[in-house]
Amino acid sequence: MKYLILLSITMTLINPLSAQKTLFFTGTTNAKEINSIAVCELDESKSEISIISKMKGGQRPGYIAISKDRKFLYAVSSEYFEGNKNENSLNAFKIEKESWSLTPLNQQSSMGINPCYISLSPSGKTLFTANYTSGSISSYPVLKNGSIGKSISFFQLEGTGPDKSRQEGPHAHYISTSIDGKYVYATDLGTDKVMIYKLDKKGRLLENKDSKFLNLDPGAGPRHMVFHKNGKFVYIINELNNEVVSCVYNASNGTLTVVDKDKTTSEKFEGKSSSAAIHIHPGGKYLYSSNRGENCISVFKIENDGSLTNIQIFTEGMGMLRDFNISPSGLFLIAGNQAENELVLLKIDENGKLSSTGQILSLSEPTCVVFY
């Protein structure tokens, strides 16, 4: 019995999160899809993914967020807010677990055109959105019943970049907080900047006089960001120059200091590609980024100083990878091939490397994968 207990403890230390069934949600950019949000299941014991239910989640919910208590879901929408063509919408839903359906709670203006990102503060009391076409960002209170209050702060970004086809004006592509919830970061693909704001107790965005923004290389096109769970390292993925920028976070003033830059495409690739999503493995040792063009996922080892070392360029079964996500167990990665209308299930080994499971799930234009 003593040896069995020791063996059990040893196995737990090696693999603290065992195989399990996990739910995840997806959004789509297909305007014709009425049941636009799907809840799916990952069965890790069988290496399978399946659709549990497809739900009415508004028009083109390209990005979604789920509340910490898992009772509510928030989604961007291309629907005009109250008929105003200069404002799209944000939708709040209650998640009905028994029927796996969504009950609409309310709708608010995104305060701009083409909202492409939505996120919640660590407390869950504040909601943020980024409008790509109009280049603006907003914050909102989350009310006790889960609905979204009216916008309490708004910033219109300004400027241009050297790429006249993509950087003719500001294009906010991401907004979220630091892990400690003190600062809010918004990427502006159009001006090659990461904007930095303070977050007050009421959820309002305030100008950060100590460090207003991080300037990136001309034509970089910052798209998304991700914070390491240690709270020290931050990684920015640039869509236009296909780079991951490694930074160190200063909690005293929100400053980001660049320490490393790495290509997300392979050395031999000479075509046109645009980077998209970026995520860190739950164990904190590996970082993953996706590319559309070379159609690959790049795998990096995170070094002790926060810099990156590329260890794999994975291409098997990869298409137009708009988004992907990693299971909470760290054993699987679900890739969304948007143009191919499919989700692809990949296995992650103990060294962070990817391999195919052969599992493909048909789903209309998947653009966001969020674990429940």
User: Per-residue pLDDT tens for 66-77?
Assistant: 999 999 999 999
**Position of tokens 């003190």?**
182
Q: Provide the pLDDT for residue 306.
A: 97
Is residue 6's pLDDT more than 70? no
SS3 string, 83-107, reads CEEEEEEEEEEEEECCCCEEEEEEE
Q: Provide the pLDDT for residue 9.
A: 40
Is residue 18's pLDDT more than 70? no
Name the pLDDT band for 19 (thresholds 50, 70, 90): low
Is residue 7's pLDDT more than 80? no
What is the radius of gyration, based on Cα positions, of the chain?
20
Rounded to an integer, what distance in angstroms lies between the CA atom of residue 190 and that of residue 185?
15
Rounded to an integer, what distance in angstroms lies between the CA atom of residue 338 and that of residue 199?
34
**What integer is the mean pLDDT of 216-245?**
98
pLDDT 10s digits, 114-125: 999 999 999 999
Q: Provide the pLDDT for residue 1.
A: 44
Q: What percent of the chain lies above the pLDDT cut of 90?
A: 95
Rounded to an integer, what distance in angstroms lies between the CA atom of residue 301 and that of residue 244?
13
Looking from the CA of 125 toward its CB, the CA atoms found within 13 Å total: 8
Q: For strands 366-371 and 21-28, give the pairing.
A: antiparallel
Q: Are 230 and 284 spatial neighbours (Cβ–Cβ below 8 Å)?
A: yes
Q: Provide the pLDDT for residue 242.
A: 98
CA 245 to chain centre: 16
pLDDT 10s digits, 124-174: 999 999 999 999 999 999 999 999 999 999 999 999 999 999 999 999 999
Quick one: which of 223, 354, 230, 367 has its CA closest to 300? 354
Is residue 59's pLDDT more than 80? yes
Is residue 8's pLDDT more than 60? no
Using the 8-state DSSP alphabet, how is residue 35 labeled?
S
Phi, psi of 20 (to 5 degrees): -160, 175
- Domains in the chain: ranges and CATH: 20-371 (2.130.10.10)
pLDDT 10s digits, 181-205: 999 999 999 999 999 999 999 999 9
Lowest mean pLDDT of 10-24, 142-156, 166-180, 200-214, name the range. 10-24
Is residue 4's pLDDT more than 70? no
pLDDT 10s digits, 101-114: 999 999 999 999 99
Rounded to an integer, what distance in angstroms lies between the CA atom of residue 286 and that of residue 294?
21
Residues in Cβ contact with 65 at an 8 Å cutoff, skipping those fewer than 6 apart: 73, 74, 75, 118, 119, 120, 127, 370
Is residue 17's pLDDT more than 70? no
